A and B are shown apart, each in its own frame.
Chain A
């Protein structure tokens, strides 16, 4: 290695494109930010911080600054109504665009609006903003102090992470889905291997994933304690899909052949079956067959992990000619207004409604203090979300699974695979 300059991984290339410093792993650099955003969660604190620290000083660039409301939309409590209005007033004063309570999950909206382009840098107050890795963008969730500074400065400090390479070998087919692949990876990695690192996923199992599937996998890099995940293998259908959305030509970086990885991990997913994460940890994953018969009172389909049209269409297929069991609540939250429109146009909402599902307007739904999907003491919920930490969605227990498994479970009133119907 003496004197030889190693090639760069994807995260190193993206950061290098946004800094004058040397973007080598372990180095702290000043990184320019293409987009900085805040939600109704964290956003009010950003506004308060900004006014305290900078009063009437201008933003670095109002055209690159956004609010995205998604956590509690429209506000179902007075505190969120106040929080959102505080952000709107600030946005108006500083000429900032607001994707308001009608638009849906901010990270998805940024993709749909073409604001999270490949090789760009995006920060916001959403810990799942690394979802943007699905489209080759370095998205990063940050706290309100960070985002306040980013609003004003247009840049931030960042320690360039090391990268690990994950080879997902083998093929799988329905009834396993991208969510099952994701849970399988979580089972293998836990919160240790990817901790504080960037991840590059390769292999047959990922190259044909659609945008929805890529979002699912990249979203849960957060639960692996990773910084960001990229899937640098793109099939033609994905390119078509993303070119249809993005305003610029999709041309993401790939890693250099001689780039250096902290670790290379192979995971065999040949013949993968549906997986379920058991309370109270997303990496506490078992095969659905081990959990069959576990009684549930509610199901949730949605979230930034599994709220795309494809996810809800899959649930509708499982529910076709079936009914949600009478004593079970199935709550469905499409991720964005665009998804909602597609579901309407394709008749999927009607199918879901006929099956007995409760369908809400787009947004985050059940995470944190959301507007739908909370659990009561003693309640058992099966959800397509990404976290099942104790007490997060209420006093009940939450299992995590794919839309297909959640739909099937809601028909039978117990954890089940679609094949059990």
Chain B
């Protein structure tokens, strides 16, 4: 359960660099905030991000996103996480995440992992859209199955892993709320 295997999408600009500071309005625009049905959210994922507006049509269940630093900056909207859960995205890797976004993902039991080496590996074309990778959340290890090398990701913290295993914060919280 703590290992995920999937095809990657490198969310990059037209020069091939990871797009930094992607904010929640680019991930899930405020015009659709009234939507509360998870199944309806996927279609708007990255819907306001230049070059990636058709992402939801291309994504497949289990795909892995690689994004630039400070991913999920901006508002506190949970839909910016839920839209990827809706598309059954397997996990998101970034050099760093916005603080609220990281919490929101973690609390929903959606795997988000930091990988400081990501920028360099994308720049050197070691990781490219379409590659197959495998990531161990617990050990903090990435493996490119397409190109046969391993790379470091930060392992989940104890709290993150516990919430992930429980499914979400609500399930995890049931043990906490007893005392």
Chain A residues packing against B (C-beta within 8 Å):
28, 30, 41-42, 44-45, 48-49, 53, 79-80, 83, 125-127, 141-146, 148-149, 152-153, 157, 159, 191-192, 195-196, 223, 225, 227, 281, 368-369, 387, 389-392
Q: Are A28 and B33 in contact (CB under 8 A)?
A: no
Q: Which residues of B contact A153 (CB under 8 A)?
A: 173, 176-177
| Residues of B in contact, count (CB < 8 Å) | 39
B26 at interface by CB-CB < 8 Å: yes
B143 at interface by CB-CB < 8 Å: no
Q: Which segment, of B9-17, B68-76, B124-132, B134-142, faces chain A? A: B68-76
Q: Are B21 and A145 in contact (CB under 8 A)?
A: no
Q: Could you say which of A41, A126, A192, A390 contacts B50, with CB atoms under 8 Å apart? A: A390
B103 at interface by CB-CB < 8 Å: yes
Report the bound CA distance from A150 to B7 in whole Å: 36
A405 to chain B, nearest CB (A): 24
Q: Which residues of B contact A387 (CB under 8 A)?
A: 23, 74
Q: Are A196 and B33 in contact (CB under 8 A)?
A: no
Q: Which residues of A contact B158 (CB under 8 A)?
A: 28
List 16 other contacts, CB 8 Å, given A145-B104, A149-B173, A389-B26: A30-B176, A44-B36, A45-B78, A80-B34, A125-B76, A141-B76, A144-B78, A145-B107, A145-B168, A145-B170, A149-B169, A152-B173, A191-B70, A195-B70, A391-B25, A392-B23
Q: Are A127 and B78 in contact (CB under 8 A)?
A: no
Report the bound CA distance from A223 to B98 in whole Å: 10
Q: Are B31 and A389 in contact (CB under 8 A)?
A: no
B115 at interface by CB-CB < 8 Å: no
The residue on A at minimum CB distance from B79 is: A45
Q: Which residues of A contact B81 (CB under 8 A)?
A: 143
The residue on A at minimum CB distance from B158 is: A28
A395 to chain B, nearest CB (A): 11
Report the bound CA distance from A153 to B161 in whole Å: 20
B77 at interface by CB-CB < 8 Å: yes
Q: Which residues of A contact B21 (CB under 8 A)?
A: 191, 281
- 25 A-B Cβ contacts within 8 A? A42-B78, A49-B170, A127-B76, A141-B76, A141-B100, A143-B81, A143-B107, A144-B78, A145-B78, A145-B104, A149-B169, A159-B157, A191-B20, A191-B21, A192-B70, A225-B70, A225-B98, A225-B99, A368-B33, A369-B30, A369-B33, A389-B74, A390-B26, A390-B48, A391-B48
